[in-house]
């Protein structure tokens, strides 16, 4: 077996991930751990300063309720999220985040994040819930506060560049996690009394639009590979909304955000014939129950209207940047100097929107001579992603807060500790927790804080170190390092290390996963459409892929990480396919369309579709859970 040093770490609370929710968790956990004399350990596969979805920065904070201004209420936010997700939402979770998110944003400001202000000193809103920021250093600022909280109080320690693979269990209680360093030959065992799985969502499960020279470019960050879903599934936790993928509409080829254009610049999107799908296709909305009539129109229905144009050959779709900028500057047209100044200001805002968060889009504009004030840019629906925090909903099924439960909900939505999964001591937040969409970066941070506080409470009330069987640990070490051993054993059997009858390299493995998902599970090539027969074929191919996962090979530590990233993606894929098969309707047509069940079925399917993998038997269980209205 490959020679890897064993590093064993014992801690009270183990935070897995270093993204927005983990940074929130670190700040909160440090505060409580100091008082209770507990130790907190945070582990990130990358460097916290620039890890996760916010690595490049962001140009807006998408969740700010603004309770102190009295303009919005918690109910308003819950209504917005419920409608956007076509009725499928856990109101207790959404409300819990909504009532705490403003304080997270105020902390950001205290830590130095520049939030735009108007002349009266009020936050500049992009839309009702969104605030504009100068956010190129957003992640650095939030990570610094988390690091200070853990390290300066003396309660915490941080491991960067350690890739977490597998949960450790003590019966039905979580006991820790194992992983390896991506820089040194070290195998890590973390033993803990409670664990927070905060490792983001998943990208590259489906074949991306960007292939060939563009491979690796995606909207969702390429380094979030489904580790949260894998971790919680393998621990035996119940998962929810696994059928809900998120497909954002983005500037084509470099995935620049559209929110600022639609909301702040009030831009229109038009098709090749100059028609406006949001206007011309309005009657289609009547087919989607009460959700077609709400404002704003749900994200997936907005997508769907545009997709109908493209499917009818009316593409490309253009974001009318030039028109929007001209319109905004129009009011100054009688004053040449003021007009020029306004145009300059709008032009720089347009570039900054991308430079703050999607630098590649600014590079593409520059490289293809686009001046947004002169010329429109193409937009397109991206490939599917798994993200519980934006307008998707996939993640673990977690307990809500006690005080928001009603007589109806308390047996279904509450089991002791806020944000604890159905596995004792395993907590989830951000992209890793499901059915609580539209939390974005700020809500994920707030949810990390909520979950950390509950995890500390769990530790105080269950203050014993779980047992970890040494034989199991030895077995896990051998499994994790097997790709290195396989490569060493067989590398000389061919002249080309990429092609070998005895093993499969992670990149080829990923291509195989992406092709089957693309073709059978409603990817880009299949126009986001699938049906029972396709999904059953996908499951057959996934079963064979799972067999071949045993043959993944790695020539170095980096490839070892790639092997496990792709195994994680494969599990996310299986949970997705099984749940799309289970939900016999089409509820989110702009995310996926089941051609054999083409309509929404409010009577039968206004429920959560949940699934669970049993690590002891290897069986999957599918179940429904009720949707309760609280607000």
Instruction: From the candidates 84, 353, 431, 565, give the one annotated as an active-site residue.
Output: 353
Active site residue 90: no
Q: Does 89 bind ligand AMP (CB under 6 A)?
A: no
Active site residue 415: no
Q: Of the ranges 195-203, 264-272, 346-354, 468-476, which one interacts with ligand SFD (CB under 6 A)?
A: 195-203
- Nearest Cα neighbor of 361 from 220, 217, 222 is 217
Active site residue 62: yes
Other C-beta atoms closer than 10 Å to the C-beta of 416 total 12
Other C-beta atoms closer than 10 Å to the C-beta of 287 total 14
Per-residue binding letters, 10-29, with ligand SFD (x by CB under 6 A) = ------xxxxxxx-------
- Nearest Cα neighbor of 191 from 168, 164, 219 is 168
- Picked from ligand SFD, ligand AMP, none, the partner binding residue 309 (CB below 5 to 8 A depending on kind) is none
Instruction: From the candidates 84, 126, 243, 383, give the one annotated as an active-site residue.
Output: 126
Q: Where are the alpha helices (DSSP H) in 37-84?
A: 74-84
Which residues 204-263 are close enough to bind ligand AMP by CB under 6 A? 248, 257-259, 262-263
Residue 621 has φ and ψ, to the nearest 5°, of -120, 135
Active site residue 397: no
SS3 622: strand
Is-contact 93 398, C-beta < 8 A?
A: yes
- Picked from ligand SFD, ligand AMP, none, the partner binding residue 391 (CB below 5 to 8 A depending on kind) is ligand AMP
Is-contact 236 172, C-beta < 8 A?
A: yes
Instruction: From the candidates 389, 433, 437, 441, give the one annotated as an active-site residue.
Output: 441
Among 66, 221, 372, 506, binds ligand SFD (CB under 6 A): 221
Instruction: From the candidates 90, 125, 217, 390, give the one annotated as an active-site residue.
Output: 390
**Nearer to ligand AMP among residue 299 and residue 611 (C-beta):** 299
CB 462 to ligand AMP: min, Å? 38
- Picked from ligand SFD, ligand AMP, none, the partner binding residue 394 (CB below 5 to 8 A depending on kind) is none
Q: Does 199 bind ligand SFD (CB under 6 A)?
A: yes
Active site residue 353: yes
Q: Does 24 bind ligand AMP (CB under 6 A)?
A: no
SS3 157: strand
SS3 121: coil
Among 302, 314, 505, 587, binds ligand AMP (CB under 6 A): 302
Is-contact 3 184, C-beta < 8 A?
A: no
Residues 6+ apart with CB under 8 A from 469: none
Which residues 546-575 are close enough to bind ligand SFD by CB under 6 A? none
- Strands 13-16 and 40-44, sheet pairing: parallel
Instruction: From the candidates 219, 261, 288, 365, give the one annotated as an active-site residue.
Output: 219
**Nearer to ligand SFD among residue 161 and residue 537 (C-beta):** 161
SS3 175: strand
Which residues 249-278 are close enough to bind ligand SFD by CB under 6 A? 257, 259
596 DSSP 8-state letter = T
Q: Does 538 bind ligand SFD (CB under 6 A)?
A: no
Is-contact 613 276, C-beta < 8 A?
A: no
**Nearer to ligand AMP among residue 351 and residue 415 (C-beta):** 351
Residues 6+ apart with CB under 8 A from 403: none
Q: Does 137 bind ligand SFD (CB under 6 A)?
A: no
- HEC letters along 390-456: CCCCCEECCCCCHHHCCCCCHHHHCCCCCCECCCECEEECHHHECCCCCCHHHHHHHHHHHHHHHHH
Residues 6+ apart with CB under 8 A from 571: 226, 229, 230, 233, 234
Which residues 374-393 are close enough to bind ligand SFD by CB under 6 A? 389-390
Is-contact 191 9, C-beta < 8 A?
A: yes
**Nearer to ligand SFD among residue 74 and residue 203 (C-beta):** 203
Q: Does 219 bind ligand SFD (CB under 6 A)?
A: yes
Known catalytic residues are 62, 126, 219, 250, 353, 390, 441
Q: Which residues bind ligand SFD (CB under 6 A)?
A: 16-22, 43-46, 51-54, 58-62, 163-164, 198-200, 219-221, 223-224, 227, 257, 259, 357, 389-390, 430-432, 440-442, 444
Q: Which residues bind ligand AMP (CB under 6 A)?
A: 62, 127, 130, 248, 257-259, 262-263, 296, 299, 302, 391
């Amino acid at each position: 077996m490959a020679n890897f040093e064993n590093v064993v770490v014992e801690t009270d609370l183990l935070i897995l991930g270093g993204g927005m929710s983990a940074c929130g968790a670190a700040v909160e956990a440090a505060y409580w751990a100091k008082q209770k004399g507990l130790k907190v350990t945070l582990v990130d596969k990358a460097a916290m300063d620039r890890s996760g979805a916010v690595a490049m920065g962001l140009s807006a904070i998408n969740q700010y309720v603004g309770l102190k201004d009295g303009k919005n209420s918690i109910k308003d936010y819950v209504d917005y999220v419920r409608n956007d997700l076509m009725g499928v939402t856990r109101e207790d979770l959404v409300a819990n985040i909504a009532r705490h998110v403003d304080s997270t944003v105020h902390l950001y400001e205290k830590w130095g994040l520049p939030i735009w202000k108007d002349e009266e000193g009020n936050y500049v809103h992009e839309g009702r819930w969104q605030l504009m920021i100068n956010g190129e250093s957003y992640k650095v600022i939030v990570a610094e506060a988390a690091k200070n909280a853990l390290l300066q109080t003396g309660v915490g320690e941080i491991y960067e560049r350690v890739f977490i693979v597998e949960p450790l269990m003590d019966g039905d209680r979580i006991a820790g996690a194992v992983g390896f360093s991506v820089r040194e030959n070290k195998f890590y065992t973390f033993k803990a009394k409670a664990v927070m799985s905060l490792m983001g969502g998943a990208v590259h499960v489906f074949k991306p639009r960007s292939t060939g020279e563009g491979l690796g470019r995606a909207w969702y960050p390429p380094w979030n590979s489904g580790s949260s879903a894998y971790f919680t599934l393998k621990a035996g936790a119940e998962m929810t909304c696994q059928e809900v993928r998120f497909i954002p509409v983005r500037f084509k080829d470099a995935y620049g955000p559209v929110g600022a254009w639609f909301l702040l610049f009030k831009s229109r999107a038009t098709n090749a014939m100059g028609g406006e799908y949001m206007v011309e296709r309005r009657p289609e909305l009547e087919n989607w129950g009460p959700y077609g009539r709400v404002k704003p129109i749900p994200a997936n229905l907005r997508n769907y209207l545009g997709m109908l144009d493209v499917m009818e050959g009316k593409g490309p779709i253009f974001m009318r940047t030039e028109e929007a900028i001209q319109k905004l500057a129009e009011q100054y047209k009688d004053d040449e100097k003021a007009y020029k100044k306004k145009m300059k200001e709008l032009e720089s805002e347009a570039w900054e929107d991308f430079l703050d968060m999607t630098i590649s889009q600014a590079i593409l504009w520059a490289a293809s001579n686009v001046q947004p004030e002169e010329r429109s840019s193409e937009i397109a629906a991206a490939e599917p992603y798994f993200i519980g925090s934006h307008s998707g909903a996939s993640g673990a099924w977690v307990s809500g807060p006690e005080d928001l439960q009603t007589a109806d909900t308390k047996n279904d939505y509450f089991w002791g500790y806020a944000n604890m999964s159905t596995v004792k001591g395993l907590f989830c937040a951000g992209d890793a927790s499901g059915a609580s969409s539209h939390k974005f970066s700020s809500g994920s941070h707030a949810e990390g804080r909520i979950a950390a506080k509950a995890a500390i409470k769990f530790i105080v009330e269950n203050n014993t170190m779980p047992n970890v069987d040494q034989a199991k640990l030895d077995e896990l070490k051998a499994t994790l390092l097997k790709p290195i051993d396989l490569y060493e054993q067989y590398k000389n059997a061919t002249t080309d290390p990429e092609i070998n009858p005895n093993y499969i390299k992670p990149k080829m493995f990923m291509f195989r996963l992406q092709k089957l998902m693309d073709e059978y599970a409603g990817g880009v090539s299949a126009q986001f459409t699938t049906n029972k027969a396709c999904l059953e074929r996908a499951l057959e191919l996934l079963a064979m892929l799972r067999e071949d996962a045993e043959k993944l090979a790695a020539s170095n530590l980096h490839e070892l990480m790639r092997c496990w990233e792709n195994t994680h993606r494969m599990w996310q894929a299986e949970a997705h396919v099984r749940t799309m098969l289970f939900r016999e309707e089409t509820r989110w047509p702009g995310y996926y369309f089941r051609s054999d069940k083409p309509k929404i079925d409010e009577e039968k399917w206004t429920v959560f579709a949940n699934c669970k993998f049993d690590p002891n038997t290897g069986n999957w269980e599918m179940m429904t859970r009720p949707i309760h209205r609280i607000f």
